[in-house]
A and B are shown apart, each in its own frame.
Chain A
């Protein structure tokens, strides 16, 4: 019995040695009959413990070994086809939170701020200038591309394009995410959108207004391609607006007529309603019920009058827009004014008749 105990002890020792060895990542096969069982149990236990510890902590890209900030900045500029001044573009990526963090660090270390020059400047100035340019150019471009679209619609499209989510999405896919110096990680959408505006500001500062506008035209405006612009502007009463617009043009009031219907008594009913003005068809649209079809037909008619139908020519972007000349002072009509004029006229007519 003692012999067997000794033997089992020795065996146990050997096993512990082997488990120690297997603590390293590579596991060699050792020809022992019970070895595979132990190995399996060991690997299962390690897997369980790894899951308990949780996933790998998300780190900034700069924390990995293969990172060189200067070369990344250089590559960023070249990738976009722009020649930046290094100081400007570096400034564009510095967020105010980073500046404050640096200040706090230096205060902690006991360094006197008066002695050392604090070079870091955050990107808020560049971002402001960039934001102004983006806003202005987007509106000017849209007003020139859609000259008959109402001002409210232009503003709606502008708000969509210049929104935080859109600009942060663009910034992320240009490669700003890894270059940003800020306290928050993962980078917030607000930081990303501000960085994008700062980049545009940097282009404006280094290369001039025309190049900055080309930049906006190449990155911000193509995001309209997959979007229906008429859906961005919410019109509450399309029929009312249509009546006012037709009166403005000098055509007769809109008359909706049922064109075709199918399966009127079923769930899958379909009605086609056409809107006529002076006995001429303006637009037609289908719908699940007559009211829906009428409303959609009114919207279609408005689209036709504003020249923003689905069959309109595409936006002038890329190389086609190299020699594009825009009228910066163009003003589009306002829908609210049109409605106001129409209804005030109606009131006058009513009071006159009364």
Chain B
């Protein structure tokens, strides 16, 4: 009896997974995290039984949205009172709460699942790399990222830059040091006067 108790405990246990959201698309990430939250990766899965796992996501502040989604993707909210409807662009929401975009992405992906509120409680989001020690101790596995993290120029060491073969000659009038200068484009040009930051 004790042996069956212990084997049942082992089969129905909740595993903890960790995921790095650095440079990842929130919507693709949400789709990737779904089976872990629902428990679809387990042969004991059933929608009635609560077999979902915990997922810890860090670096949610550094997610990457495609195209001009930062500007055009809107989050809507209604306070259920009259005149309580509001909407905000993704970048505004991200500034207010760096975990909100990913949280909402996962929530809307779980549409139609009855136990979605319970699954959302098992999703732990951290904006930066510092996850509490107690949570890190629980983790048992890592989920692979969805997109390749691009290597920025600053990530290359001077050696690698020097070693890199010269593929072509620059034209004579090309400004080689141009990337180091400040970006002089004016911010907020696309937003109406009412909503521009002061």
Give the B-binding residues of A (Cβ under 8 A). 228, 230-231, 260-266, 268, 270, 272, 285-288, 292-293, 296, 299-300, 310
Contacts and interface: CB of A to CB of B under 8 A. Distances in A.
5 contacts: A262-B16, A263-B15, A265-B138, A266-B138, A288-B9
A248 B140 CA distance: 38
B137 interface: yes
Q: Determine which residue in A228, A231, A270 has the highest number of CB atoms from chain B within 10 A of its CB, and name it.
A: A270
A89 B47 CA distance: 58
Given A228-B1, A310-B3, 10 more contacts: A228-B4, A231-B1, A262-B14, A262-B16, A264-B138, A265-B135, A266-B14, A270-B9, A272-B10, A287-B6
Nearest to A272: B10
Contacts of A296: 2-3, 6
Q: Is the interface of A mostly helix, strand, loop or mixed?
A: mixed
Nearest to A287: B6
B108 interface: no
Contacts of B54: 263
B13 interface: yes
Contact of A263 (B1, B7, B14): B14
A263 B6 contact: no
Contacts of B16: 262-263
B3 A262 contact: no
Contact of A231 (B3, B10, B138): B3
Interface string B148-159: 000000000000
Nearest to B137: A264
B141 to A, nearest CB: 9
Q: Determine which residue in B2, B4, B7, B54 has the highest number of CB atoms from chain A within 10 A of its CB, and name it.
A: B2
Contacts of A300: 3
Contacts of A265: 134-135, 137-138
B2 A261 contact: no
A113 B56 CA distance: 91
A299 B2 CA distance: 10
B3 A260 contact: no
A303 to B, nearest CB: 9
Contacts of A266: 14, 138
A230 B4 CA distance: 12
A286 B9 contact: yes
A286 B14 contact: no
Interface in B85-144: 134-135, 137-138, 140
A265 B56 CA distance: 14
A286 B140 contact: no
A270 B2 CA distance: 15
B2 A231 contact: yes
Given A260-B140, A264-B138, A230 B3 contact: yes
Nearest to A299: B3
B4 to A, nearest CB: 7
Contacts of B138: 262-266
